[in-house]
Amino acid sequence: MISISNISKTFGQIAALSNITLEIPAKQIFGFIGPDGAGKTTLFRLITTLMVPDSGAILVNGFDTVKEYRRIRMFTGYMPGRFSLYMDLTVEENLNFYATIFGTTLEKNYHLIKSVYSHIEPFRKRLAGKLSGGMKQKLALSCALIHNPEILVLDEPTTGVDAVSRKEFWELLHELKQKGMTIVVSTPYMDEAAKCDTIALVHKGRLLETDKPGKITGSFKEHLFAVSGENQFRLINDLRNYQPGVSAYLFGQAIHLSFNTKPDINHLKMHLAKSGHGDVKVEPIMPSVEDCFISSMTSSGNH
């Protein structure tokens, strides 16, 4: 369990984190969701004792990250944003090295990483620098797991990794959770949020919301529609000017349109037809985490 209370951290003039209070329960996958620059990496560095907060305190399994950092370092596994592998060492040498600095051996803890390592074991004589992104990621995870940590901190582990590897990776994380590991993960991909037990939405160093992914989408109070038609650029502008209390943003192939009061869809369609938009489809949809993120980002006033 990690309890974060009133954490603030600034770099020069920039506030990387402002007044974060949060509880990360044990034996869960806890996801931090937010765009680049939200402060996720800084928060992870504070949790892993790599940095000291300006104010506030973090307790990891009851140990303070400033005073008792040596204890925390014994049972924490950390995978930084960039795969921290030695590119001139082979897969096996990387693993052996990380095993020895944690006072163990690959043979002794092979069973702990087997599920991850088995994917890359055929390439164990290959230099880490010559692996694909997905394989590097699995090797970095194996290295972080080699000492059987109680808490695993993964900073954007799926960034720059192909879709298949990403899916496999999340399956691996769920296996680890089954074994009783506490996993803290960050991602800029909103679609990965649903795979976490609890998520925290962060933006510009602030915590927007913390809850189960289902609850966050369930508490979405606005009325959401997917609008698709020709000339998206003009369409999105016309939708934004339709009436107050409307927000419209591009979401993949469609435009997501949300109203804070129940709208008259027929009126909207007529309005659009008058503005010269021919074949426009408007359908009600269920909100995703990203819709919730954008909604709470705009309502908290720091868009």
Partner 1 sequence: MNNLAGFIKKEFIHILRDPRTLIILFGLPVVQILIFGFVIRNEIQDVKIAILDYSKDDVTREITNKILSSGFFVLSENLTENNDIEEIFREGKIREVVIFESQFARKLEREGKASVQVLADASDPNSASLVVNYTRGIIFDYLKKASKEAAQPLKINAEVRMMYNPGLKSAFMFVPGTMALILMLVSAMMTSISIAREKETGTMEVLLVSPLRPIHIIVGKVTPYILLSCINAVVIIALGYFVFGLPVKGSLVLLLAETVLFISLALSLGILISTMASNQQVAMFLSVFVLMLPTILLSGFIFPIENMPKILQWVTFIVPPRYFIEILRSIMLKGTGFFNIWQQTTVLIGMTLFFIILSAVKFKTRLE
Q: Of 55, 100, 118, 302, which lies in the binding site for partner 1, with binding defined by CB under 8 A?
A: 100
Residues in the chain, total: 303
Q: Tell whether residue 78 is a contact of partner 1 (CB under 8 A).
A: yes
> Distance of CA 293 to CAs 7, 132, 177, 203, 208, Å?
22, 32, 26, 9, 8
Q: Residue 142's CB: how many other CB atoms inside 10 A? A: 28
Nearer to partner 1, 49 or 217 (CB): 49
Phi/psi for 286 (5° steps) reads -80, 140
Q: Tell whether residue 89 is a contact of partner 1 (CB under 8 A).
A: yes
Q: Tell whether residue 86 is a contact of partner 1 (CB under 8 A).
A: yes
Give the footprint of partner 1 on residues 135-164 (CB under 8 A): 143-144
Q: Tell whether residue 98 is a contact of partner 1 (CB under 8 A).
A: yes
**E-strand stretches of 2-96:** 2-11, 14-24, 29-33, 55-60, 63-64, 76-79
Q: How far apart are CA 204 and CA 162, in angstroms?
A: 27
Nearer to partner 1, 89 or 226 (CB): 89
Q: Tell whether residue 299 is a contact of partner 1 (CB under 8 A).
A: no
Q: Identify which range of 98-106, 177-185, 197-205, 281-289 contacts partner 1 by CB under 8 A.
A: 98-106
Nearer to partner 1, 125 or 274 (CB): 125
Q: Tell whether residue 45 is a contact of partner 1 (CB under 8 A).
A: yes
Interacting residues of 180 by C-beta distance below 8 A, sequence separation 6+:
27
Strand order in the sheet with 29-33: 76-79, 151-154, 182-187, 29-33, 198-203, 206-211
Q: Tell whether residue 74 is a contact of partner 1 (CB under 8 A).
A: yes
Q: Tell whether residue 102 is a contact of partner 1 (CB under 8 A).
A: yes
Nearer to partner 1, 144 or 255 (CB): 144
Q: How far apart are CA 52 and CA 8, in angstroms?
A: 10
**E-strand stretches of 155-231:** 182-187, 198-203, 206-211, 223-228
Q: Tell whether residue 70 is a contact of partner 1 (CB under 8 A).
A: yes
Q: Identify which range of 16-24, 68-76, 107-115, 163-171 contacts partner 1 by CB under 8 A.
A: 68-76
Q: Of 15, 50, 59, 246, which lies in the binding site for partner 1, with binding defined by CB under 8 A?
A: 50
Residues in the interface with partner 1 (CB under 8 A) total: 33
Contacting positions for partner 1 (CB under 8 A): 45, 48-52, 69-70, 73-74, 76, 78, 80-89, 93, 96-103, 143-144
